[in-house]
Amino acid sequence: MRKVGVAVAAALIAATAACAPAPAHPAAPVAGTSTTATTTTTPPTAVPGPGGTTVPVFQHPYRYGTAQANAPAGEDGLLPVVRRIRTDKPYVFITIDDGAVRHPAALELMRSANVRPSLFLNTKHVQEDPAYFKAFQDEAGAGVHAHTASHPNLQGRPYDFQRREICGNADYLEAQVGKRPKLFRPPFGNYDHATRKAATDCGFTALVMWTAAVNDGVVQFQAGGKLNAGDIVLMHFRRTFVEDFVAFLERCKQDGLIPVPLEDHLAVTRP
Ligand SMILES: [Zn+2]
């Protein structure tokens, strides 16, 4: 785990050093990066953000919304459980859960960074202000996905209970944002066979877990000291949204990764 200040400083250095990740040791200048002339056609690598922050900006490496890979096959007629994405590209995936705190700067941040997160939302939070959450889909291109109606621990609960929580949430989100959620994440990451059965019966493509998380402005890794290609990162709609999201973006720059839409890498397949 890194201190926020260190991560921020390192990422700011990365952000100001053209678009390449910060080298691990001093290296010879790369041709083309040491010229004094700045062309007006070069997209910015960072822009001013809310609260005096600097927001790293990412260019889309392909046309978003086009399938890049199918979801892995499920087994025993159940949907697959996905913990990371297999990819040979420098891609990483950001997911944002629950919806408990509606931070006013969240939409602007996503748009500024040019990043499209996947949101796993609970009915009980979305119904407080459906328009707030729909705007992420309509104005930032975010994917809206299911996380149960009331955020219970599903593990060990009867199938009917789980089905109500999961399908009910999907029905509600579809009615609110106009699209059927394709991905499901169980609250607390806890699930059992009945969860997978219910999620399969409700029509989901994959049950999505995570391999790294952001808390209090710090990116935490399950293994190793950096983000790796294919990592699925978890954060939440909290009061610390700006610190958390910027910490994630900075970490991506530092580790030479590009956040791309999870949906594009979990295209529909049948279990
Ligand atoms: Zn949750």
Q: Give the start-to-end residue ranges of the domains of the chain.
A: 4-27+41-265
Overall average pLDDT of the 130-146 stretch: 98
Residue pLDDT, tens place only, 11-32: 333 333 333 344 444 444 444 4
Measured in angstroms, how far is the CA atom of residue 9 from the centroid of ligand 1?
30
For the chain, give the DSSP string. ---HHHHHHHHHHHHHSTTSPPPSS--PPPTTSS-S---TTSPPSEEE-GGG-EEE----SS-TTS--SBPPP-BTTBPPEESS---SSSEEEEEEEE--S--TTHHHHHHHHT---EEEE-HHHHTT-HHHHHHHHHHH--EEEE--SS----TT--HHHHHHHHHHHHHHHHHHHSS---EE--GGG---HHHHHHHHHTT-SEEE--SEEEETTEEEESSSSS--TT-EEEEESSTTHHHHHHHHHHHHHHTT-EE--GGGGSB----
Overall average pLDDT of the 126-143 stretch: 98
pLDDT at 1 > cutoff 90:
no
- The percentage of residues in the chain with a pLDDT greater than 70, rounded to a whole number, is 84
User: So what's the pLDDT on residue 102?
Assistant: 98
User: So what's the pLDDT on residue 114?
Assistant: 97
Domain over 4-27+41-265 is classified CATH 3.20.20.370: yes
User: So what's the pLDDT on residue 31?
Assistant: 45
User: So what's the pLDDT on residue 40?
Assistant: 64
Overall average pLDDT of the 137-154 stretch: 98
For 93-126, what is the HEC assignment? EEEEEECCCCCCCHHHHHHHHCCCCEEEECHHHH
pLDDT at 270 > cutoff 70:
no
Question: Which range is least confidently modeled, 40-49, 88-97, 259-268?
Answer: 40-49
User: So what's the pLDDT on residue 194?
Assistant: 98
> Distances from the Cα of 220 to the Cαs of 57, 232, 251, 255, in angstroms?
21, 12, 10, 14
User: So what's the pLDDT on residue 34?
Assistant: 46
Overall average pLDDT of the 130-156 stretch: 98
Q: How confident is the model at residue 204 (pLDDT cuts 50, 70, 90)?
A: very high
Measured in angstroms, how far is the CA atom of residue 151 from the centroid of ligand 1?
6
Measured in angstroms, how far is the CA atom of residue 37 from the centroid of ligand 1?
48
- How many C-alpha atoms does 123 have within 13 Å on its Cβ side? 16
- The percentage of residues in the chain with a pLDDT greater than 90, rounded to a whole number, is 79
User: So what's the pLDDT on residue 36?
Assistant: 52
User: So what's the pLDDT on residue 39?
Assistant: 57
Burial class (CB in 10 A: 0-12, 13-18, 19+), 83: middle
Overall average pLDDT of the 220-241 stretch: 94
Measured in angstroms, how far is the CA atom of residue 238 from the centroid of ligand 1?
11
pLDDT at 133 > cutoff 50:
yes
Measured in angstroms, how far is the CA atom of residue 263 from the centroid of ligand 1?
19
User: So what's the pLDDT on residue 190?
Assistant: 98
Rounded to whole angstroms, the Cα distance separating 222 from 234 reads 11
Q: How far is CA 123 from the centre of its chain?
A: 19
Residue-averaged pLDDT of the chain: 88
Measured in angstroms, how far is the CA atom of residue 184 from the centroid of ligand 1?
11
Measured in angstroms, how far is the CA atom of residue 67 from the centroid of ligand 1?
27
Measured in angstroms, how far is the CA atom of residue 190 from the centroid of ligand 1?
10
Measured in angstroms, how far is the CA atom of residue 240 from the centroid of ligand 1?
16
Residue pLDDT, tens place only, 163-176: 999 999 999 999 99
Type of residue found at 100: A
Overall average pLDDT of the 178-199 stretch: 97
Sign of the C-alpha dihedral, residues 165, 171, 174, 180? positive
Residue pLDDT, tens place only, 66-124: 999 999 999 889 999 999 999 999 999 999 999 999 999 999 999 999 999 999 999 99
Measured in angstroms, how far is the CA atom of residue 30 from the centroid of ligand 1?
44
User: So what's the pLDDT on residue 33?
Assistant: 46
Helix orientation angle between 193-201 and 159-177, rounded to the nearest 10 degrees: 40
Measured in angstroms, how far is the CA atom of residue 147 from the centroid of ligand 1?
7
Measured in angstroms, how far is the CA atom of residue 41 from the centroid of ligand 1?
41
Measured in angstroms, how far is the CA atom of residue 174 from the centroid of ligand 1?
19
Structure tokens at 94: 């950001």
Measured in angstroms, how far is the CA atom of residue 229 from the centroid of ligand 1?
24
Measured in angstroms, how far is the CA atom of residue 188 from the centroid of ligand 1?
6
Measured in angstroms, how far is the CA atom of residue 36 from the centroid of ligand 1?
48
